[in-house]
A and B are shown apart, each in its own frame.
Chain A
Amino acid sequence: GQNIDQPTEMTATEGAIVQINCTYQTSGFNGLFWYQQHAGEAPTFLSYNVLDGLEEKGRFSSFLSRSKGYSYLLLKELQMKDSASYLCAVRDRGRGSTLGRLYFGRGTQLTVWP
């Protein structure tokens, strides 16, 4: 199995920068995903890291350190619409039939205040 840990809740103000951390333990790492989920809606894909380093996509960036079992999602210039749950998910190598299976953390509920 997997052990994925992320904070339960975070708050920040509009225009600020927030970093959401995720630590994981896995028997065979094969990629880390971040998803965003607004209340009552389906999760939507934000970012993917499989190699160490930073991936930037507009206001959102995601970082990975495989040796430390650590990732973070960085949100810049926060907007009210960024209030949502952010889910960290790890894919392990598995065997052929389980390629693509993700293990999700419990999510970090981010509240952005005006």
Chain B
Amino acid sequence: DVKVTQSSRYLVKRTGEKVFLECVQDMDHENMFWYRQDPGLGLRLIYFSYDVKMKEKGDIPEGYSVSREKKERFSLILESASTNQTSMYLCASSTLLGSPYEQYFGPGTRLTVT
């Protein structure tokens, strides 16, 4: 079974803090993704990575950055947390080998910025 893990289920941070969210997958997947999920807005892609050290912006990259130094790990960084970044953050991974290339999701991190 594919396993995607995220470093925290719940996180509370103060405005202006630098926040790191970590995601690890154990299936040697090439692609990794960071989403945020808000009521009424659905899943929105922040950043994704298709290889080590490679990244591409999603639909809402402002205020975020990412790092992928190893294939299994994809980090989301909030450089200076703001209250409008309070959200559920979901990490996912997928392979390029073997249809249908579905994405496997981690359990999510509920981040509250006060």
Which A residues are within 8 Å of any B CB, using their own CB?
1, 31, 33, 41-45, 48, 50, 87, 91, 97-102, 104-107
Contact = CB atoms under 8 A, between A and B. Distances in A.
B11 interface: no
Contacts of A48: 99-100, 102
A33 B100 contact: yes
Interface residues of B, number: 28
Contacts of B105: 42-44
A97 B100 contact: no
B94 interface: yes
A32 B89 CA distance: 23
A42 to B, nearest CB: 4
B96 A100 contact: yes
A97 B104 contact: no
Contacts of A106: 40-42
Contact of A41 (B54, B104, B107): B107
A31 B94 CA distance: 14
11 contacts: A1-B59, A33-B100, A42-B108, A45-B103, A87-B43, A100-B50, A100-B94, A100-B103, A101-B45, A105-B42, A107-B42
Contact of A104 (B31, B43, B54, B104): B43
